[in-house]
Amino acid sequence: MAETYTVLIIGGGGREHALGWAFARDPRIQKIWFAPGNAGTALIGSNLPLPATDLAGIIRWAKTEKPGLVVVGPEVPLCAGLADRLREAGLRVLGPGAQGAQLEGSKSFCKDLLVSQKIPTARAGSFKDVTEAIRFSGSLPCRQVVKADGLAAGKGVVIAETHEEAAKAIREMMADRVFGDAGARVLIEEFLDGEELSVHAVTDGRNLVILPSAQDHKRVGEGDTGLNTGGMGAYAPAPKATPELLREVRDKILLPTLAGLAARGIDYRGILYAGLMLTREGPKVLEFNCRFGDPETEVILPLIETPLWDLLGAAADGDLAKISLQTRTGAALTVVLAAPGYPAQPVLGQKIQMGKTGADSAIFHAGTKMAAGKIMVAGGRVLAATGWGDDLQTARERAYAAAKTVSFEGMHFRRDIGYRALGKVVR
C-alpha cells in the first residue's frame, strides 16, 4: 500500500488555496486542513475554526492531529513565532522562526543585513525620532520611499515625490501613528528606477531552489495607475528574468542573505522571497518577504511539476540538496477579481455566481466565505482567475476567459495584466 501524507496549511487567502490545490494534485496526499481557509479551500480539504493568528489554538490542534507537514502562509503568525512553537512541539514545519521572519517583520533588520552583507540595495536610513528622520530625508533626492518599519498589511509604504510629501508621510507614520506601532520606526530610502521582479526561493537554510520568477501588478488601475493594493494580478515567468540574471540574483543576493542569517545564528527554513528592482546597475533589493507572495503563488505553482510535498518537506527537514526542481514550459497569468471600493473601502457581502473553468485554468478563492450554502464576498481581493499554457499570450487568454465565468455585484479587475510583456489590453 502506497504511503499517504497529511498537510495543515495556515491562512485563508488565495495563496493558501493555491497551495492546497497544488498539494491536492498529489495522489499521496490523504488529507489537507486549512486554518481558517475560505469557501474555495473547503472544496479540497477541511477548514478549521482557527484564525491564523490563534497560535495557541493551532498548536493544541496540531499536537492532537499531528499533520505530516505544516505550511505557514501569512507573515503575521510567522513573525509571532508560530513556526518556532510548532517545531518545539515536534512538528514538521515549512516557515522561518520569529528571528528569521524579521526579514519581513522589521525593515530596519532587513536593511542592516543587506548592508552588512554588501547586497545591492537602495541608500537608506532608519529612525525612531521624527526630527532626525526628516533631516535625513532632506539629504536624499526629492523622490524617495518612506516605509513603516513593522508589518502594515502591505500598506505602510509611501512614494514621496517631494521633500514636503516625505516629511508629511514621516509625521503621519511616526507622530500620528496611521499604521499603529508599525510606524514607531521608519525606514527612508532613495527611490530606485527600473522594472520590478519577484524571485521566490525555497531554502533549508543552506541550500536553495529558485522557483519560476514572477511580476506583480500592485496598482489598482490599468497602466499602473491609482492606489497601491495587495496585488491585482501577476504572471510567470518574467521575460527579463534570464538564466544569467537569476544566477546573479542567486550569487549576489540570495546566497549572501542566507549567509548573513546563518552568521546571526538563524536557521532559516522556508520561503525567501526577494522583491527586486532591475536598475541600470543591476538587480537591487527593495524588500524581502518570509513567505510565498500573493498573487504570485497563483502563477508560480501551476508551473511546478515537482510534488510540493517533496519540495517543501525537504526544506523543512534541512535536506533540500536532494531536490532537483522540475517545471513545465510555458507561462501562467492570474487576474484578481476585486470587491467594489477596493482598496480604499471594499464593500462586502455580495453573492458570487461561479461557472466552470477550462482544464488549463483555475479560480483561486481569497476573500470568500460560505453563508447559507452560498459563496459570498468576504474580502477586498475576492478571487484570482489563473490560466496557464505554452506561452504568456495563451495563459492570459485563459485567465481572462476564467474571469468571465465569475460575477458578483460591483466586481472589478484590471484588463491589462501582463502588459509589460505583451502590450495590448484585453477587452
Strands 29-36 and 93-94, bridge-based pairing = unpaired
Domain 8-97 bears CATH identifier 3.40.50.20: yes
Question: pLDDT tens for residues 292-315?
Answer: 999 999 999 999 999 999 999 999
Residues 6 or more apart whose Cβ sits within 8 Å of residue 319: 204
User: For residue 154, what pLDDT is reported?
Assistant: 65
- For residue 46, CA distances in Å to 33, 35, 39, 57, 134 come to 5, 9, 10, 16, 50
Please give the grid coordinates belonging to residue 240.
Answer: 527579463
- Chain mean position to CA 66: 27
Cα–Cα distance for residue pair 191/146, rounded to 1 Å: 10
Alpha helices in 215-357 (DSSP H): 243-249, 255-263, 297-300, 308-317
- Determine which of 24-33, 133-142, 267-276 has the lowest per-residue pLDDT on average: 133-142
CB 113 within 8 A of CB 127: no
Q: Does 322 have pLDDT greater than 90?
A: yes
Average pLDDT on 200-217 reads 97
Rounded to an integer, what distance in angstroms lies between the CA atom of residue 136 and that of residue 141? 11
CATH of domain 331-422: 3.90.600.10
- The burial of 172, by beta-carbon neighbours within 10 Å (0-12 exposed, 13-18 middle, 19 or more buried), is given as middle
Q: What is the pLDDT of residues 84-105, one digit of tens each?
A: 999 999 999 999 999 999 999 9
Return d(Cα 260, Cα 77) in angstroms, integer.
Answer: 23
Q: What share of the chain is helix, strand, coil (3-state, %, to 5)?
A: 30, 30, 40
- What's 253's DSSP letter? I
54-77 in b/e burial notation, b at 16+ Cβ within 10 A? bbeebbebbeeeebbbbbbbbbbb
Tell me what pLDDT residue 1 has. Answer: 57
Confidence check: pLDDT of 265 > 90: yes
Cα distance between residue 198 and residue 234, in whole Å: 10
Q: Three-class SS of residue 16?
A: helix
CATH class in words for 129-184: alpha beta
Please state the domain extents for the chain.
8-97, 129-184, 195-322, 331-422
Q: Is there a contact between 285 and 196 (Cβ–Cβ < 8 Å)?
A: no
Q: Stretch 409-417: mean pLDDT, rounded?
A: 97
pLDDT for residue 22 is more than 60: yes
Higher pLDDT, 378 or 195: 378
Residues 6+ apart with CB under 8 A from 153: 230
Which pLDDT score, from 0 to 100, does residue 264 have?
97
CA distance 182 to 151: 6
Q: What is the mean pLDDT of the chain?
A: 94
Q: Domain spanning 195-322: which superfamily?
A: ATP-grasp fold, B domain (3.30.470.20)
Q: What is the pLDDT of residue 427?
A: 63
Tell me the pTM: 0.92
Q: What is the 3-state secondary structure (H, E, C) of 153-172?
A: CCCCEEEECCHHHHHHHHHH
Inform me whether the pLDDT recorded for 68 exceeds 80.
yes
| More confident: 426 or 222 | 222
Q: What do you get for the CA distance between the two ends of the chain, in Å?
A: 51
